[in-house]
Amino acid sequence: MKLLRLKTVLLDLIEDLITNKVHNASNVRKLVKDVLEVLREEFKSHNGLIRLSEPQEKFLVVGDLHGDLQSLTHILRFAEASNIHNMIFLGDYVDRGENQVETILIPLYLKLKYPDNTFLLRGNHEPPEFLPVYPHDFPVELRLRYGSIDGIKLYSDFKELFQLMPHALIVEGTALLLHGGPPTRNISKHITAYEYLLGRNDDERFKILEEVLWNDPTEDTPYAEPSYRGAGYLFGYEVTKSALSITNTRVIVRGHEPCFNGFKLNHDGRVVTLFSRLGPPYNNAYASFMILKPRLRSGKLIPEEAVVRFSLQDL
């Protein structure tokens, strides 16, 4: 396993990628195509669900970024200073924010350089064809930056890339990570984690992907109710309990919802929501990320202790 040398990566990124390559459509297309190849190869083996054995090293988990390059840089510097080599992103890299192109290119670059240490989950703003999202100004931003011909080509490369992003990740015995939430359907003692999180046929696969990308936790019902978002469901603590049991994990870590204090807990601390961006339109006081430590099985996971918060003053 190649160790992530963030100091070098950051220098590369800031000096090279942001100042030069990012302005050149053919460089960006090459980066996207190279990452596509890596993701295509990986998808063949995981089919949408990544399973990692209990980690020997720390993992840093990043929530929604939505174009916030400053927060992303802050988080990478923290990882560098703390000697953390593994990163899991929970999706929603793009839409909103003037730096949304950089904010997705940096995780892609990390994936290319450190494929075994970097995991890029899919968010609802990396939408499947059947589930459009609003606002979705990413394709507009690509056209503005690279012109309409290259911008349209690039967006079509990105769409292919979104299809290959994993839907969920299980850290064995520890955590279930996904963008929205666990599915409210097909809950049974006999279902496997693969069937539960990916569906047992094409029809289920689409419905479950919608839930995984769009669901939010609620304290108002133990099971499920329709979501105010018009897609996905609100899931109650019974769904959380079942999802943890089916996936043999202890906590669900997800993004998707803005949090004024950077993060929030639901269902007795068994659902952690991370929001890793600052600034408008949410103007949240804090953003956050989370550190998953190895050998959690023997100790107690205290979400409040694992979450690191930061504000605009820290950037």
CB atoms within 10 A of CB 289: 28
Q: Which of 73, 99, 100, 124 binds Mn ion (CB under 5 A)?
A: 124
Site for Mn ion in 232-261 (CB under 5 A): 256
Rounded CA-CA distance 101/66 in Å is 10
**What's the closest the beta carbon of residue 237 comes to Mn ion, in angstroms?**
21
Query: Quick check: 111 binds Mn ion (CB under 5 A)?
Result: no
Query: Quick check: 92 binds Mn ion (CB under 5 A)?
Result: yes
Query: Quick check: 96 binds Mn ion (CB under 5 A)?
Result: no
**What's the closest the beta carbon of residue 248 comes to Mn ion, in angstroms?**
26
Provide the residue type at 290 as one letter: M
Our CB check for Mn ion shows the closer of 151 and 232 to be 232
Our CB check for Mn ion shows the closer of 92 and 210 to be 92
Our CB check for Mn ion shows the closer of 45 and 134 to be 134
Closest residue to Mn ion in the complex (CB): 256
Number of residues counted as binding Mn ion (CB under 5 A):
4
**What's the closest the beta carbon of residue 58 comes to Mn ion, in angstroms?**
25
Choose one: 65-73, 118-126, 262-270, 298-306; the region binding Mn ion (CB under 5 A).
118-126
Binding site for Mn ion (CB under 5 A): 92, 123-124, 256
